Amino acid sequence: MNTYFKRYLVGASILVTAIVISMIVQVEVTPPDHTRLILERSNRVFISPPCFNQAVVSNNLSDSTLKKAKELEYIADSACTEQSLTAVRKSILLACLEQIGLKKSNWNW
């Protein structure tokens, strides 16, 4: 075997091992700060879009982000909203693909 082939084989082995490990190891992923939410300003609560039809709201609504809702110290409107924003466990590979935008995240509504 020549040196070039050995280097190629070692490099390929390391790459395959890294990919397999990234598919097996699980991490906890939380919603990003830019996650869209609906702010109900009268009651100072936020609502996630999947839970909007179940919510009892006034006309004082605005579109915002999770970061802004935290800054304003708003609370979740319901258990549905809390549950929709809970962290999930997924493989490192899937988390990385979501981070760079190649896969849709759980909070991309």
Q: Which pLDDT value is given to residue 2?
A: 79
In angstroms, the CA 28 to CA 82 distance is: 16
pLDDT of residue 1: 64
Q: Tokens 């936020």 correspond to what residue?
A: 46
- Report the relative pairing of strands 36-40 and 61-65 from DSSP bridges: antiparallel
What element of type H or E holds 62?
A: strand 61-65
Region at 91 (left for phi over 0; alpha for psi -120 to 50; beta for the rest): beta
**pTM higher than 0.85:** no
* Residuewise pLDDT in 10s, the chain (109 residues): 678 889 999 999 999 999 999 999 999 999 999 999 999 999 999 999 999 999 988 899 999 999 999 999 999 999 999 999 999 999 999 999 999 989 999 999 8
Phi, psi of 62, rounded to the nearest 5 degrees: -150, 155
